[in-house]
């Protein structure tokens, strides 16, 4: 469907044309007319499908300038908040509408000033609640309430905050939700707070014709060497996923030592630094971004050619989210999983989804590069994950392998640093948490067992 066929204002069509778009994506073509008709919606679509325009354009089409805050868009992460704000600004550049992004980790003063004039608010739940408590935000005239990445909100513990924010909005608002999955608590919100929503489903799976999916079954001491070999062999932009922020930092340091232009992004970095890293990758000033799932969720980076699972994702949904960042917009891509014995359970969870087909590759004959786990002299972890004294900072003993996850310290999100706001970041068992660490679920699908240095499906 062409944007010109939609009932959008000329200034919006002009902005879309300036962005270089003439036809809608699947989710846009389904959502925009439905939202313009005034109906609540629940949308499901894969990463990079154009969701922001799907809800942003009809909102911009309906907002009245100078009438105060009329739309609020809630996002689970700061990076996604900023990206939606940037996209909305570009789409609304000819409308004169004012927008504000509100999130923690930065000074609250400028946000208070911008809120006095804004018609559209994009924010994270914690900082939005802070403004509501202060009285610096009023949602009495809200026409549109948007939940983006709703399932991620649930994982991060934001559901209570969302319910509290909903109390401040009018009952006759139009509610829009986008979520990859619809778990029970999300369904409860829909049943209680949405008005006969229309369920819209776009493409939720990656085009397997464009995406090559492979795994290598390797020894722990081969892991970094293989990653380095593949990065240097393949041209393009790569996204490397690690389980913890400590692993992210270690992999980034070692890549930098081997002259690979890599940068890290995780919850332990300052907000300005995280945004700077994303911008550098978009402009291709770096070729590799090493990230945790939490930090990478919601990042709209369109030129990624390779996704590497340095640590295996915990389940099929997480795997799909990761690999969905490549092979987009008709371009080809490759997803590579580096599998060691500690990853077998997680990878078996991934393959319990029978629609996921990952082919095995043979480990090439390459030199083993020493992996420095510490940035300097200090302690190192042995192959069982035990912290041991020493100054080698490399592998943990003659059996090889990195320290297990237990040696990596707190998981992503168990933050020791203070936030600008006590609510910035959700609560999880008394800790501030941004979604990385969760109790492991028992595996119900296929399993893997180690047999003479390898693994095989056990049905």
Q: What homologous superfamily does CATH list for 3-201?
A: P-loop containing nucleotide triphosphate hydrolases (3.40.50.300)
CA distance 403 to 384: 6
What phi and psi values does residue 126 have, to the nearest 5 degrees? -60, -50
Domain ranges for the chain, please list them. Answer: 3-201, 211-458
- Position 336 pLDDT exceeds 80: yes
CATH architecture of 211-458: 3-Layer(aba) Sandwich (3.40)
Using the structure block, give the residue that is written with the tokens 């270690």. 250
∠ CA 326-327-331, nearest 5°, is 130
Report residue 134's pLDDT band, with 50, 70 and 90 as the boundaries: very high
Answer for the pair 127, 74: CB distance below 8 angstroms, yes or no. Answer: no
The two domains 3-201 and 211-458 share their CATH topology (first three levels equal):
yes
Strand runs labelled E in 31-102: 41-44, 71-74, 99-102
∠ CA 248-249-252, nearest 5°, is 85
CA distance 118 to 112: 10
| pLDDT tens digits, one per residue of 9-35 | 999 999 999 988 888 888 899 999 999
pLDDT of residue 155: 79
Distances in whole angstroms, Cα of residue 388 to Cα of each of 246, 270, 324: 17, 30, 39
- Position 44 pLDDT exceeds 60: yes
- Position 288 pLDDT exceeds 50: yes
| pLDDT tens digits, one per residue of 390-436 | 333 332 333 333 233 333 333 333 333 222 333 433 333 322 333 33
Report which of residues 437 and 142 the model is more confident about.
Answer: 142
- Bridge partners (DSSP) of residue 375 are none
């Amino acid at each position: 469907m062409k944007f010109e066929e939609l009932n959008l204002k000329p200034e919006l069509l002009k902005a879309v044309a300036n962005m270089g778009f003439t036809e809608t994506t699947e989710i846009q073509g389904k959502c925009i007319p439905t939202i313009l008709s005034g109906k609540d919606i629940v949308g499901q679509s894969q990463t990079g499908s154009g969701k922001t325009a799907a809800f942003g354009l009809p909102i911009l089409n309906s907002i009245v300038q100078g009438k105060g805050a009329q739309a609020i868009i809630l996002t689970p992460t700061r990076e996604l908040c900023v990206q939606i704000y940037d996209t909305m600004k570009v789409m609304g550049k000819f409308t004169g509408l004012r927008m504000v992004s509100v999130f923690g980790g930065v000074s609250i003063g400028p946000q208070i000033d911008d809120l006095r004039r804004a018609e559209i608010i994009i924010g994270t739940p914690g900082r939005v609640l802070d403004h509501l408590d202060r009285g610096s935000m009023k949602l009495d005239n809200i026409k549109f309430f948007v939940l983006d990445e709703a399932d991620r909100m649930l994982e991060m513990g934001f559901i209570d905050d969302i319910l509290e924010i909903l109390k401040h909005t009018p009952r006759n608002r139009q509610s829009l939700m986008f979520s990859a999955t619809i778990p029970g608590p999300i369904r409860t919100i829909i049943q209680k707070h949405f008005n006969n929503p229309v369920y819209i489903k776009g493409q939720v799976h990656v085009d397997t014709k464009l995406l090559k999916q492979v795994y290598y079954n390797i020894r722990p001491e081969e892991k970094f060497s293989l990653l380095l070999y593949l990065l240097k062999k393949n041209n393009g932009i790569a996204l490397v996923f690690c389980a913890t922020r400590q692993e992210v930092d270690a992999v980034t340091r070692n890549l930098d030592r081997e002259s690979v232009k890599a940068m890290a992004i995780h919850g332990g970095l300052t907000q300005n630094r995280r945004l700077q890293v994303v911008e550098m990758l978009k402009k291709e000033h770096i070729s590799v971004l090493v990230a945790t799932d939490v930090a990478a969720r919601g990042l709209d980076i369109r030129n990624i050619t390779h996704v590497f699972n340095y640590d295996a994702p915990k389940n099929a949904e997480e795997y799909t989210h990761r690999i969905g960042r490549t092979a987009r917009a008709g371009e080809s891509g490759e997803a590579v999983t580096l599998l060691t014995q500690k990853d077998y359970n997680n990878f078996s969870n991934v393959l319990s989804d029978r629609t996921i087909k990952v082919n095995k590759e043979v480990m090439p004959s390459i030199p083993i590069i020493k992996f420095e786990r510490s940035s300097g002299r200090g302690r190192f972890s042995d192959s069982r994950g035990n912290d041991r004294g020493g100054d080698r900072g490399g592998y943990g003993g003659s059996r090889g392998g990195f320290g297990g996850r237990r040696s990596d310290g707190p998981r992503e999100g168990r933050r020791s640093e203070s936030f600008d706001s006590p609510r910035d970041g959700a609560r999880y068992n008394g800790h501030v948490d941004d979604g990385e660490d969760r109790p492991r679920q028992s595996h119900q699908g296929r399993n893997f067992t180690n047999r003479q240095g390898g693994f095989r499906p056990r049905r």
